[in-house]
Amino acid sequence: MSHNILVTGGAGYLGSTLVPALLEAGHKVTVLDNFLFKQASLNHVCHAPNFTVVKGDIRLESVIKPLLSKADVVIPLAALVGAPMCNADPVGASSINHDAIAMMLRLLSPEQVVLMPTTNSAYGTGDADNFCSEESPLRPISQYAKEKVEVEKLLMQRENAISFRLATVFGMSPRMRTDLLVNDFTYRAVHDRFVVLFESSFKRNYIHVRDVARVFLHGLENFSAMTGQIYNVGLSDANISKRELCERIQAQIPDFVFLDAPVGKDQDQRNYVVSNAKLEATGYRTSMSLDDGIQDLIKGFTMIKNMVYGNV
């Protein structure tokens, strides 16, 4: 079944991978993006007759309202993503990550479908064993995670909505980000051959950007069975510490060196092990392993050597 899909932030890291997949699946896709990073990440789909692009700000009702009226599915990706970026512009982050989404949900009709990415960083540190399922208490640390929690509460008041709590995303994308943890460490391994670790025993979960695109397609295809629910989206065999991540990179770049810092800490002190069993019970399976993603990043960073691809 073909849908008219609005993707806000569709030229970003996730969107530039997702939009081609939606078009290939036969959907009509409209992208709204402000092109903050001056990216040309959707050049390769401009030939598609079912692709429409609008440059604008999701915070303006005059911009978003007419686009919503034409959509039967909305995938709101537009956001200032991650703790450092939100810390650099907390007012902008709040107006984009929370206020604009609240306005969008208010403008939607009950029949319209929303597939929203939220974040498993909302778990903070998990329970005594750092284990988290969708039923676990939320202990968000960063502004980004806190506002995603509030938006998810609003989302779950709707009938036709799914929340995907994404693990830390990695992998090559047309609008690249080098500031994500796997991407960052692999970039450093390729170009610097070393990294200094803070809190190297802290664990988190990971997911390849292509598998994030696939989960939105999976949600569309199985919407009647999945609607009204929250799902963790990650690699079940990749609940690993920062040190273990470095060891996986070192397996492919043997002269990569990593050291523990005696002092200092991360801005976003997450430490948890996440269950993805609920999503897997719907039939979803990932296609890209952590090692696959590290391999594609090594290829990509052979071509890229600058930091213009980061969010901060």
pLDDT for 308: 65
User: Where residue 63 sits, what CATH number does that domain have?
Assistant: 3.40.50.720
294 found inside a domain? no
What does the pLDDT read at residue 310?
A: 64
Give how far the C-alpha of residue 249 lies from the chain's centroid of Cα atoms, to the nearest Å.
21
> Is residue 173 assigned to a domain?
no
pLDDT value for 15:
98
Cα of 195 vs its chain's centroid, Å: 24
Q: Let me know if residue 266 belongs to a domain.
A: no
CB atoms within 10 A of CB 1: 8
User: Which residues span the domain enclosing 227?
Assistant: 4-167+206-233
Nearest to 64 by CA among 79, 54, 50, 49: 54
**Can you give the pLDDT of all 312 residues of the chain as single tens digits?**
899 999 999 999 999 999 999 999 999 999 999 998 888 999 999 999 999 999 999 999 999 999 999 999 999 999 999 888 888 899 999 999 999 999 999 999 999 999 999 999 899 875 567 899 999 999 888 898 999 999 999 999 998 999 999 999 999 999 999 999 999 999 999 999 999 998 899 999 999 999 999 999 999 999 999 999 999 999 999 999 999 999 999 999 999 999 998 877 766 667 889 999 999 999 999 999 999 999 999 999 999 887 666 665
Residue 21 forms part of a structural domain: yes
Residues 221, 224, 225: CA angle, nearest 5 degrees: 90
Q: What is the pTM of this model?
A: 0.94
Do residues 238 and 95 make contact, with C-beta atoms less than 8 angstroms apart? Answer: no
Residue 183 inside a domain? The answer is no
CA–CA separation, 96 vs 299, rounded Å?
Answer: 33
Count of C-beta atoms within a 10 Å radius of residue 202? 18
Identify whether 280 is part of a domain. no
Give the bridge partners for 19, in sequence order: none
Q: Which helix (H) or strand (E) holds 162?
A: strand 161-166
pLDDT of residue 129: 72
Q: Within 10 A of 134 (CB to CB), how many other CB atoms are there? A: 18
Determine, yes or no, domain membership for 299.
Answer: no
* Structural domain includes residue 298: no
Is 305 exposed, middle or buried (CB count within 10 Å of its CB: 0-12, 13-18, 19+)?
Answer: exposed
When divided into structural domains, the chain yields a total of 1
According to DSSP, the β-strands at 239-241 and 203-208 are: antiparallel
